Structure 1
C-alpha cells in the first residue's frame, strides 16, 4: 500500500472515476432521440488515460467496452498525439480502426488539465441506421464493409470547439432518418463535454498527482488479482475448446471458432489461430471484438472488488491469425460479427475455462442477440428503421438456475417496451411471451427463451435478421442438457414459412415476423 493514501481513499477515487463514466452515460441516455439509445440503452461510456489505456468504465455493453481503448488508440495513431488539441472532439466507426461494426459510432474527447493532455472520455452508441444497402445497415449476405454503411475513419468532429459542419452534413445526407441520427450524435457530443467537466472536478478536488497515484495503484492491484487467478492454472499445458457458427448467411456451412489457453509464467495466452478462415458473409469479427469477448470472461472470473482497468488485462495475451473469422482482412463485411460472432467467442471461452474453473463457469446462454431490423416508409412517407436485440435463455451454473428471458454476455441492453415500439414505428406486437421448456435440463437448469411476434402496418418494408443457435444448440456442462434452438418465422396472409438464421427480404403489410429465441444450457446431471 502506498503510504500517501489508504485503500479506502483509493476506492473512493475509483468509484468517482466510474461515476464520471456513469454520469456521461446518463446524460447521453436522457439527451438521445432514438428508442435504441434512450430506451434500450444500447450505448457505453469509458475513460482512458493519455495513451488510450482504460482507467474506468460504466457497466454498459461488454462488446463496446472491451474495444473502447482500441478506438481511442486508433485516434492517437491516426493523428499523432502532438496534433490532439484542447477543445477537439473525434468521431469514428471503422471496425478495422478500433471499431466494432458500422452502426456503433464512437465519439471521443481528449481531456486537458493545466494545458496537459491527461486522458480521454469516450462513448459508443449503436445507431439504428448508418446508410448502406438496406435499412439498419446490417444486411445478410455477401457485402463489403462500404456496402454495409457509411464508413467513418477517424475524423476531427470539433476543432477547438468548432463543429466540422461540412463533414456532418455529408454524413447526414447519406443515411436514413437523419433527424434521429443528428440528435443522437449531438447527445454523444454533449455527454463527452459533461464527462470532461466531471473529470476536471475530480482533479480539482484531489489534484492531478494524487489521482494519478491512485490510478497507478488500482492498475497494479487489478493486475495482481489477475495474476492470482492465473496462478491457479497449470503451467505448460494447453486447454482448448471449439464451438461453431450456424452459417455466414451466404453458404449453409458451419464455421468453427477454436481457442487454446495456456499459462506461461505470469502470462495467460489465449490463441485463436486455429479458427476457420474469414467468410463471404458478414459474420467476421474484428480483433477489437475478439478482444472484448476475451476480456469479458477474465473480468467475470475476478471479484468486482477490483477495478476494471488496463492493469486487470495486462497479463493477458490474445493471439489471432490474420484472415480468420476472428481477425478478418478488409474490406470483409463485419456487421454481424460484432453482435453474433462475439457471442460465440464468449461461448468458446466459457467452454475452455469450464475446464479450469468448473465451479465458476456457467453453461452456454442463448448465444445470439437475435438482431431484428424492419425498415421502410410509414403512412406519411417518412423513413423509419426499427432495430432490436431480443433476449433469450441463460446458461445455468453450479448452485444457480437463472431467470428467464434475459440479455446475456456481449449485450447488456433492454428489450424495447411494446408501448415505445408501437408509438415510434408502424408496427404492432402480436405476442411477447416466454417459451416453456426451452432451457436445458440439469441439476441446475438453464432458463427459457422468448417469442416476439411483430406485425408490419406499413405498406411494405425490408426485414433483416442476424441470429444464431438455429442449427447448433447452446451447450450444457457436466451432464446438463443443451438449451433449445431458436427459430425465425414469417406469417403471411396465406402461409407460414421458416426463415434461416440470417436473411434480408421484402415483407408486406400484415406480415408477422416471429422470433423465437434459444434457451440456456443446463449444468450438472439431473
Structure 2
C-alpha cells in the first residue's frame, strides 16, 4: 500500500466515488421510460478510471453488468481510438461478446474530461424493453434471429444525437418511444457521473484519478487475497444439472482450486453449446463466477477492479459457458445463474458456513408479454418476480428474494396499468422451501388473467422444471417451476406461445434448497412454520416427522 492517502481520507474518497455512481443510477432510474428499468432495477452504473478500471459502482447494480463494463469499454477503444473520443460523446453497443452477453442490453460509455484531459469513463448497462427480432426469447437457433445488433458506435457525438442510429433503432423495435427514452436515460446518467467526478476533483485538488485508482484497487485486491489465503490449499469439484432445451439437457462441471492467495474456477467437462439461446458468453460466465466468490469470501469491502484480480475463470471453447459466435445467447441467464450453485457446491466442502444452498431464483424465471392493449396501443412487458433464497448454515432462506441476480420485483399496479394483464393473486407458496436444519426460502405463486381483445404473445425463459434447486449437506431440494394454463396445460418452458383473451396463467416460482438434515431442525421452528402457513401439516409430518394432530 502507498502512503499517498491516509486511511480516513481514503475512506471518504471511496465513499464519495460510490455516491457519484449512485447519483448516476438515480438519474437513470428517474428518467427511464420502461418498467424494466424503472420498476425492476435491471441496470447498473459504473465509474472507471482512464485505463477503464472499475473504481466504483452503484450500490444496487446488477452483478454481471458491473463485472463486464470495464472490458466493454476497453473493446470500445479498439473500435473507436482514444484520440477520437470527445467531451459530450456517448458510445453504445449491444453486441453480446463486447457488452453484457445478450442483445436486449445496451452498454454505454462516455469519456470524462477535466482540464482538457481524459481522466475517466462513466459507464452503464440497461435492459431495453425490446430489441426487435424474436425479442427476449430462448428458442432462437442463431444470434441474428434474436434482434438488432449494434457494434460500438457514437449515439451522441459531442453532444449531438446520431440520427442514423436513432432511426435504425426506432424502425426495428416494438416499443420505440420506450427504447429511445431508456437510452437517453443512460445518457443522463453518464452526464451526472461526469459532473460528479469533475466536482470531486475540484474539491480534492487532484488533477486526475491515477493515484487514487491504484490505491483503491490495491486495497480491494488485498482484501480478497486475505480472504482466499485464509482457506486451505486444495481442489474441489461439483456439478449442476439443468433442464436444457427439450431433450438436450445440460450440465455444469466445476473445479475450484486454491493455491495461496489465488483462486481458479475451471468449468472443464461442461456441456457443449447448443443451438438454442441458453448459451452464456465467456464474459457473462466470468462475471457470474467471480461474483459469488466475492459474496462468500469478502462481502464487506466495496467492489472494484481489484476485487477480482485473484480469481481466474476458465471454460472450454464451444461449451455452453464459452460458445462460438454466432451462437444464440438471448436467455444466457438460464445457464449463467446456475454457476453459483456449482461454485458453492465446491466451497461447501471446505467452508460450508460461508455459502447458501441453491436458490429458486437461480436461474430467474421470466415471462415476457407482448401485443395490443384494448385501445390499440402496442405493449411489451416483463413480469419480474423471484423464487426463494437458499438456506445457509445460520438461518432459513429469505422468501421471494433474487440471487445471484438482484433485479427487483416491480409493481403489479404498474404492470396492470400498462398492459391487459390482471394479477389475480401473488402469494408465498406453501411447502416450496426445501426442508433442512434451516429451511429454504419460499417461492411464490402468481395467477394472472389475459384481459385483452386480441391474442397476447408470451415468451418464457425458465428452468427448474425437471431439476429443482438443490439443498446442501443433507438439506432437501426446493420446489420445481410450473407455468401452466388453468386447464393444466403446461407451456413450453423456453419458447414463445400465444395466450387467448380470457385465459388464465399460473406461474410457480421455486423455493430455495434447505441446509443440513431435516431431522436437526428446531421443533419450535417447525411449529412456527406450520402456524404461519409456510409448511403444511402433511409436509411437516412427512419431512420432519412431526405428528399430524388434525
> Where on the TM-score scale, by shorter chain, does this alignment land: which range?
over 0.9
In 1, the alpha carbon distance for the partners of 2:79 and 2:216 equals 29
1:278 equivalent in alignment to 2:273: yes
Q: Helix, strand or coil for the counterpart of 1:308? A: coil
Cα shift at 1:124: 0.8
Q: How far apart are 1:168 and its partner, in Å? A: 0.9
Q: Deviations over 1:256-297 (max 9, x none)?
A: 111211123442111113211101110000111111111211
Structure 2: distance between partners of 1:71 and 1:4: 30
Partner of 2:145: 147
* Higher Rg: 2
Which residue number in structure 1 is paired with residue 536 of structure 2? none
Match among 395, 398, 401 for residue 400 of structure 1? 395
Distance in 1, Cα, partners of 2:11 & 2:326: 44
Alpha-carbon distance in 2 for matches of 1:140, 1:457:
25
Aligned match for 1:502, one of 473, 480, 494: 494
Match of 1:106 in 2: 107
- For 2:528, the equivalent position in structure 1 comes to none
Q: Of residues 471, 492, 496 in structure 2, which corresponds to 1:476?
A: 471
Shift of 1:211: 4.6
Give the corresponding residue for 1:218: 216
1:355 aligns with 2:352: no
Cross-structure match for 2:86: 85
Please give the residue correspondences for 1:198-213 in structure 2 after superposition, counting only pairs within 5 Å. 198-208=196-206, 211-213=209-211
Counterpart of 1:364 in structure 2 is 358
**Residue 526 of structure 2: aligned partner:** none
What residue is the counterpart of 2:503 in the other structure? 511
Task: Report the secondary structure of 1:365's partner residue.
Answer: coil
Match in the other structure for 2:369: 374
SS in 2 for 1:67: helix
SS of structure 1 residue aligned to 2:248: coil
Deviations 1:79-100 (A, max 9, x none): 2323323321101111012322
- Match status 1:298 vs 2:293: yes
Please report the TM-score for the alignment, with normalisation by the length of structure 1. Answer: 0.95
Could you list the per-position Cα deviations for residues 105-163 of structure 1 after superposition, in whole angstroms to 9, with x for gaps in the alignment? 11211111222222111111111211013xxx122323311211111111111121121
TM-score calculated relative to the size of structure 2: 0.91
SS state at 2:56 partner: strand
Match of 1:176 in 2: 174
SS in 1 for 2:65: helix
C-alpha distance in structure 1 between counterparts of 2:106 and 2:372, whole Å? 24
Distance across 2 between alignment mates of 1:33 and 1:145? 27
Q: Does 1:289 align with 2:290?
A: no
Change (3 A) 1:305 1:487: closer
Measured in 1, the distance between the counterparts of 2:428 and 2:411 equals: 15
What SS does the aligned partner of 2:150 have? coil
Q: CA RMSD in A?
A: 1.6
Q: CA deviation at 1:479?
A: 1.1
Does structure 1 conserve the Cα–Cα contact (< 8 Å) formed by 2:297 and 2:354?
A: no
The 5 A counterparts of 1:125-274 are: 125-133=126-134, 137-208=135-206, 211-235=209-233, 237-248=234-245, 251-274=246-269
| Residue pair 1:13, 1:211 contacting (<8 A) in 2 also | no
Aligned residue number for residue 407 of structure 2: 413
Offset of residue 209 of structure 1: 5.2
Pair 1:211–1:71, CA change in 2 (3 A): closer
Partner of 1:27: 27
Aligned pair in 2 of structure 1 residues 175, 244: CA closer, same or farther (>3 Å)?
A: same
5+ unaligned residues in a row in structure 1: which ranges? none
Counting only pairs closer than 5 Å after superposition, residues 49-88 of structure 1 correspond to structure 2 as 49-59=49-59, 60-88=61-89
Distance 1:128 1:454 in 2: 20
In structure 1, distance between residues paired with 2:327 and 2:485? 29
1:122 is the counterpart of 2:116? no
Alpha-carbon displacement from aligned partner over 1:237-261 (angstroms, at most 9, x marks no partner): 321111022112xx32321111211
1:49-75 deviation digits (Å, cap 9, x = unpaired): 222221111131112221222221221
